[in-house]
Structure 1
C-alpha cells in the first residue's frame, strides 16, 4: 500500500512504516521575535491514528491522544507554547505551532503518528531560528599578590 504525507508542500512516500522525504528534510525558518513557527503536516490518504508525538531529540514537545493533549512529560522548554488542531486525530492535520521561537528552539523536530503502539508515520522537520546573539564579555584581572581573580 502506498501512503503519502505532505509536509510544507513536500510529498513524502511511505516505506517500511517510515516517511522519507524525496528531496531531503523539510526546513522551517523563522526569526527571533516572530510570534510562532509552524510545522505543517497533513497525512494522506486517511488512516486510523490514535496518538501523535512531536519530539525534539529526547525532549517531548507535545503528545496528543484521544483524550486531548498529554502534558505530563512535556519538556518545560515548550510549556504553554505548543498548539495543534483540536480535531487533529480525525482530520489527520498533525501541524504543530510553536509560539515565540527562540534560538534554543532550533533543531530537528520529529512527528510520530501512532496507531496503538505501532508507529504508522514518522517524519522530521528542521527548525532554524535566526536572530542576533548578544555576547557579553567581561574583563578578568588577576591579582598576583593576593592570588585572587576579579571579574569587572
Structure 2
C-alpha cells in the first residue's frame, strides 16, 4: 500500500485552456514539472492526429523524427526544460486547424512523472468591416436619400415657378412665315398681365402684348402674336418673311401684375439659305450671273 501511495504522489495530471487568434505570431502551451530532473523525456502529443507526436525533447535535445509534418519548424521547447521544470511548448503561427487537446507527458526510465493536458482554441479574427461598414454606410445612405429628396423638392419648386424651356425651329429663307411656338394650358390659369417676345441678338426686335390688348411690333417683315393668349393658352409668335439675320435665340416671358416673370420659354430659330441664293452665291464666285 505504501508503494502505491508513493507512486500516486509522483504522478500528477493537470488540465488548462488557452485561447489565441489565428494570425498571431505564436502561442505558449504551458506545462510545468513539479520536481525538475536532469534526466527524462518530454513528449507533446495530440491524440486526434496521425502521427500524434508534436514535439519530443530528450536529455540530448530535440528529437523530431516522428513529428507530425503539420508542425514542422513551428514548435520549440527550452533546451534546459528538464532542469528548470518549464516544459511549455511554443507553437508559432497558430491556425484554426491547430485547435485541439495537447498532452505534455514526462517520463524517466519509462516511469511517468507528470502529465498535463492543454486545450488550445484558435479563434478566427472578427472582421472589422461588419462592425465598421454599417457605421459608414448608414450615414452615406441617409445623405444620398436626403440629397435625392432635396433635389426632388428643388425640381418641383422649379416646375411651379418660372421654368425655362427650349424649342428649336428651322425654316428656309424666303418662306412666307415661321411660327415660334409657345402653347401652354397654364396660361389660362396664370394671373399674368403681359407677354413679351424678344430676340436677344437684336435689341430692337420686341413684341409685347398685355391685358389692354395692345401689341408693340418691331420687325422688318412684320410679326403677329396669337390674340388673347389668356383665353386660348397660345402665345406663339409668327415672323413674316424670315431672313438669315432673323436666326438666333428668342425668349418669351410671361409677367405677372407685379412685373415679375412667371414663366419663360426659349426658342432657337435657324434660318437656312434658299437654294436660289445658294446657286447665285456659287455663280458669283465663278464669275457668272443667274436670273
Relative to the length of structure 1, the TM-score reads 0.70
* Bigger relative contact order (CA 8 A; separation at least 6): 1
**Farther-moved stretch of structure 1 (55-64 vs 98-107):** 55-64
SS of aligned partner of 1:101: coil
Q: Deviations over 1:76-115 (max 9, x none)?
A: 0110000111111211110100000011100000000010
- For 2:46 and 2:110, locate their aligned partners in 1 and report how far apart those are by CA, in whole Å: 20
How far is 1:118 from its partner?
1.3
State the alpha-carbon separation in 1 of the partners of residues 76 and 96 from structure 2: 19
Per the TM alignment, residue 40 of structure 1 is displaced from its structure 2 partner at its CA by 1.9
Using the TM superposition, give the Cα deviation of residue 29 of structure 1 relative to its aligned residue in structure 2, in angstroms: 0.3
Structure 1 unmatched ranges of 5 or more? 2-13, 134-152
Give the C-alpha shift of residue 50 in structure 1. Answer: 1.0
Q: Does structure 1 conserve the Cα–Cα contact (< 8 Å) formed by 2:31 and 2:86?
A: yes
Find the partner of 1:55 among 41, 45, 56: 45
Cα pair 2:42 2:104 within 8 Å, conserved: yes
> In 2 relative to 1, CA 44–17 (structure 1 residues): closer, same or farther, beyond 3 Å?
closer
Compute the RMSD of aligned alpha carbons.
2.2
Structure 2 length-normalised TM: 0.38
Larger radius of gyration: 2
Name the one with the larger strand percent. 1
Alpha carbons of structure 1 residues 79 and 89: separation in structure 2 relative to 1, 3 Å: same
Asked whether the 8 Å contact 1:49–1:113 carries over to 2, the reply is: no
Deviations 1:15-37 (A, max 9, x none): 4654234xxx3100000001111
State the partner residue of 1:76.
69
Match of 1:31 among 9, 21, 25: 21
